[in-house]
């Protein structure tokens, strides 16, 4: 069976497209994943000196976090050997902050939170931790629609995490 040059070029272009869509930092992230469970990565750089301390952002289980691609230029390490920090981000939690009582269904107000730890890549030792909060939901009103039973604040944004991380990274 012969394959036309057009089909071969199309397949080659598709392969290049797929390669470009993969995570370019996957290898560095995978090598530093043990740090989120307290295990140091001896190949990583020491957390020392001034300037930027390159950081990888991972989910607490060591997989790539959705915020990873949002790290500012210059924060991400080029190699495992230049990485100094690993930010481990827990799953977002929904917390009830108030229940408003009415002559019908109650309304519960919820705020989203995310716990973040920064650990030294080489040792796995904790450098800092915090619980970040999303925006508050609006207040309950004197009267509300009967069908309304929950009010939610905003989800935790990467910008909130970056503001906190900045003190450790820069």
pTM: 0.79
Burial of 118 (0-12, 13-18, 19+ CB in 10 A): buried
pLDDT at 170 over 60: yes
Distance CA 74, CA 119 (A): 18
Q: Could you tell me whether strands 104-120 and 150-152 are parallel, antiparallel, or unpaired per DSSP bridges?
A: parallel
Tell me: the pLDDT tens digits for 107-150?
Answer: 999 999 999 999 999 999 999 999 999 999 999 999 999 999 99
Contact (CB, 8 A) for 52 and 14:
no
pLDDT at 93 over 90: yes
């Amino acid at each position: 069976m012969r394959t036309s040059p057009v089909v071969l070029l199309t397949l080659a272009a598709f392969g290049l497209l797929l390669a470009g869509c993969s995570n370019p930092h996957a290898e560095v992230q995978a090598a530093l994943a043990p740090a989120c469970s307290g295990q140091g990565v001896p190949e990583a750089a020491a957390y020392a000196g001034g300037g930027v301390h390159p950081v990888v952002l991972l989910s607490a289980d060591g997989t790539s976090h959705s915020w990873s691609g949002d790290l500012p230029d210059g924060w991400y390490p080029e190699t495992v050997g230049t990485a100094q920090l690993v930010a481990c981000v827990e799953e977002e939690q929904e917390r009830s902050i108030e229940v408003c009582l009415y002559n019908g269904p109650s309304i519960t107000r919820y705020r989203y939170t995310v716990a973040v730890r920064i650990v030294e890549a080489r040792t796995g030792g904790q450098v800092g931790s915090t619980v970040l909060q999303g925006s508050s939901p609006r207040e309950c009103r004197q009267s509300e629609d009967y069908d309304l039973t929950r009010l939610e604040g905003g989800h935790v944004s990467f910008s909130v995490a970056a503001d906190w991380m900045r003190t450790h990274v820069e």
